[in-house]
Amino acid sequence: MRHFIHLAYKGTNYRGWQRQLSVSSVQQTIEEKIALLLRREPYIHGCGRTDAGVHASQFYAHIDMSAEEAEKLRRLNMVLPEDISIKEIFQVGDKMSAQLDAVSRTYQYNIHFKKNPFLAEVSSLYDFKKYDLDLMKKGFYKIGEATDFYAYCKTVKNYRTTDCKIFDLSFEEDKKAHTLKLTIKANRFLRGMIRYLVSDLLDLGSGRLKFAVWEAQLMSQKERVEKLAAHPQGLDLIKVSY
Residues annotated as part of the active site = 51
| Alpha-carbon span 17 to 174, nearest angstrom | 30
Report the SS3 class of residue 141: helix
Please list, in sequence order, all residues whose beta carbon lies within 8 angstroms of the beta carbon of residue 198, skipping any fewer than 6 positions away: 109, 111, 182, 230, 234
Which class for 41: exposed (0-12), middle (13-18), buried (19 or more C-beta within 10 A)?
Answer: exposed
d(CA 131, CA 193): 22
Element (H, E) at 56: strand 55-64
HSE-up of residue 115 (Cα within 13 Å, Cβ side):
1
In the chain, what's the furthest Cα-to-Cα distance?
A: 60
Q: SS3 of 112, please?
A: strand
Contact 92, 3 (CB under 8 A): yes
Residue 157 CB-density burial (10 A; 0-12 exposed, 13-18 middle, 19+ buried): exposed
